[in-house]
Chains A and B, each alone.
Chain A
């Protein structure tokens, strides 16, 4: 790389930083100490893992992430908590082993016999054995739901998914053909919903998705279909802390319900995690972690 190219690179980095560092009195994304590959936010917990699969937990006292000893995970899900109720934290490792965070030992306990590629966690309202909705997808696409009474994952028959999301005790998934499915607790199976999506996000009382072209859609429960919303997202997240999306050039967008439109927020992120009380966190290019703050 020539000196001129290096100078331009430095300038571009500085310009990039300038877009992130806006006056302290504004609503903005502020960097948090730590370097992560992915982050997940719930109500009172934020966990992430780095490129070496080491697991980190956000420490609000130091405003930095602390490493969890002896934990190696490459998928983490956090959710279901309130101010009087702890979040559940689940994860999977590269060998598809499944772990649940133990607040007493501050370590992850392996769930014997469970093998999952992906996991999602949210609040559970259905019955006593599901105080949190914990769902996962196995390597072959089979879907499993965790039963807190038996301590085991039970397979949800007849459904093969490649991604799954839960929120407000509602469970949605997408299969390998991008077809969309909504879990019916009454029928105890996933029911197909019209449309194809590459990504789905379940908020408090709403369901959002993005198509392969990045077109944003929002589910209309009255008509049972997804309607297009003005916006183009490479990644979308929804939770109690709103609906957020990553648009072109890593731009950050917040869905402003008042105007029913996405509004750009200064900064740039590659991925975004929307909590339900813990706020909005994101990861940028070299693993820098940012959180949305107001003064």
Chain B
């Protein structure tokens, strides 16, 4: 078939423009980050200044960036195989490192010290870490749930977990406070003055706390955002997600099929981002990270 001259010119122009943009290499995408891992990566946890990952054997890895922005995960010494790692509360500089906490399959609790991971007293099935603003003894807010659903908060002065009121099945910590869900999905917010978990209307299956906002997903995968004025969760019409993560690097989610969505605050809608992930996690400074079904780690990059 003979091409029309105009069409050829357009194709040429499009190709030239494509090359021009490709030369700059600018594209907002998830890029694969190498890890010298023994097994597939199952969890990645970004904080303010660091990113940690766990493989399916429970080995822990720390991300080491290079000055050019590239980097890789390096295996770290762990006293036991971990099942969860929580990172947060830090900023980019040494004056404010992230707090790093981990749990093993026997519910033992570990935190990192200058000499590596150290076992703390306590037994938890879930742990969450965020920035602390309350008092000298809580420079980071470290909260956990025991095997019997009791709620604990770590005191850095006493160096122990102290039990708080209430029972929860899920807990999340961020600049917007400490939030939790019961096994039946009831939502609770901690009142730091009374230290009571106060119920908030609605039911969710997942909750995520950002610097100033709180997000959740209900059993129908509908997304809700806390309205700061009413202190009630409002349905975000048309947004369906299976996973949600809010942090200082925005609000991101995954659909049930693993498609990646970014919440656009300007339009109050989600927009698809190329790629497929099994998990997604948003840091506060450390960026947006995810794991794919083949156990690889991916980091979002705009340039």
What is the 8 Å Cβ interface bit string for chain A, positions 85-123, against chain B (1 contact, 0 not)? 110000000000000000100000000000000000001
B213 within 8 A of A: yes
B92 near A203: Cβ-Cβ < 8 Å: no
Residue from the list A124, A171, A240, A259 in contact with B302, Cβ < 8 A:
A124
For A, the interface residue count at a CB cutoff of 8 angstroms equals 70
Determine if B275 is an interface residue (Cβ-Cβ < 8 Å).
no
**Closest residue to A295 on the B side, CB-wise?**
B139
Most buried by B among A222, A254, A294: A294
Q: Are A83 and B285 in contact (CB under 8 A)?
A: yes
Is B69's CB under 8 angstroms from A86's CB?
A: yes
Which of A65-73, A135-143, A152-160, A276-284 is the contact stretch? A276-284
Per the bound structure, the CA–CA distance linking A171 and B193 in Å amounts to 36
Q: A83-B63, A241-B248 given as contacts; is B285 within 8 A of A276 (CB)?
A: yes
Contact of B177 among A123, A127, A258, A278 (CB under 8 A): A258
Asked whether A227 and B136 contact (CB < 8 A) given A132-B302, A204-B210, the answer is no
Within 8 A of B (CB), among A154-202: 168-171, 182-186
| A44 interface residue per 8 A CB criterion | yes
Q: Does B202 contact A (CB under 8 A)?
A: no
Closest A residue to B302 using CB positions? A131
Partner pick for A279 among B31, B92, B214, CB 8 A cutoff: B92
Stretch at the interface among B108-116, B158-166, B226-234: B226-234
Question: Which A232-289 residues have a C-beta within 8 angstroms of B?
Answer: 238-243, 254-260, 263, 275-279
- Which residues of chain B come closer than 8 Å to A169, judged between CB atoms? 264-266
Q: Is A8 interfacial (CB 8 A cutoff)?
A: no
B251 at the interface (CB under 8 A from A): yes
Given contacts A125-B264, A257-B213, contact A220 B229 (CB under 8 A): yes
Task: Tell me if A212 is interfacial: C-beta within 8 Å of chain B.
Answer: no
User: CB-CB < 8 A to B65: which residues of A?
Assistant: 83-84
List residues of chain B with CB within 8 A of the CB of A256.
133, 177
Q: Measured between alpha carbons, how far is A83 from B92 in the docked complex, in Å?
A: 8
CB distance B49 to A242 under 8 Å? Answer: no
Q: Which residue in B71, B135, B210 is a CB contact (below 8 Å) of A205?
A: B210
Is the CB–CB distance between A125 and B91 below 8 Å?
no
- Which of chain B's residues 1-59 have a Cβ closer than 8 Å to chain A? 20-21, 24, 26-28, 31, 33, 46, 48-51
B95 in contact (CB, < 8 A): yes
Tell whether A222 pairs with B63 under 8 Å between CB atoms, given A125-B264, A294-B131.
Answer: no
Question: What are 10 A-B pairs with beta-carbon distances under 8 A?
Answer: A60-B93, A83-B51, A83-B283, A125-B262, A131-B26, A149-B26, A169-B266, A185-B267, A239-B248, A293-B96
A124-B28, A295-B139 given; 13 more Cβ-contact pairs under 8 Å: A58-B93, A63-B93, A82-B301, A83-B51, A83-B71, A83-B287, A85-B69, A204-B265, A205-B250, A220-B229, A240-B247, A240-B248, A242-B211
